[in-house]
């Protein structure tokens, strides 16, 4: 099955965009509307606490993979 970026956005509207490659291997916390990373680091609990301290009460937590994503455009 082939799915492009536009189809993914339509099927999963709340899914954030890709995190920057320089954050590979880290946890990131996205804000409530999934438009910006509000905290990042190596420990889940610390990143979540930093995001809440920055005013984001319900951050989406994501582990950024250390290898590049392989998929269709």
Handedness of CA 38, 43, 44, 48 (dihedral sign): negative
Q: Higher-confidence residue: 41 or 73? A: 41
Q: What's the pLDDT score for residue 34?
A: 86
Q: What's the pLDDT score for residue 8?
A: 59
Q: What's the pLDDT score for residue 50?
A: 98
Q: What is the pLDDT of residues 17-65, one digit of tens each?
A: 778 889 999 999 999 988 899 999 999 999 999 999 999 999 999 999 8
The domain locations on the chain are 5-63
**5 Cβ contact partners less than 8 Å away, ≥ 6 residues apart:** 73
């Amino acid at each position: 099955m082939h799915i492009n970026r536009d189809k993914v956005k339509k099927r999963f509207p709340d899914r954030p965009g890709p995190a920057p490659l320089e954050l590979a291997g880290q946890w990131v916390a996205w804000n409530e509307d999934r438009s910006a990373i509000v905290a990042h680091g190596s420990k889940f609990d610390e990143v979540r606490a930093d995001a809440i301290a920055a005013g984001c009460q319900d951050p989406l937590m994501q582990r950024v993979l250390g290898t590049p994503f392989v998929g269709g455009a």
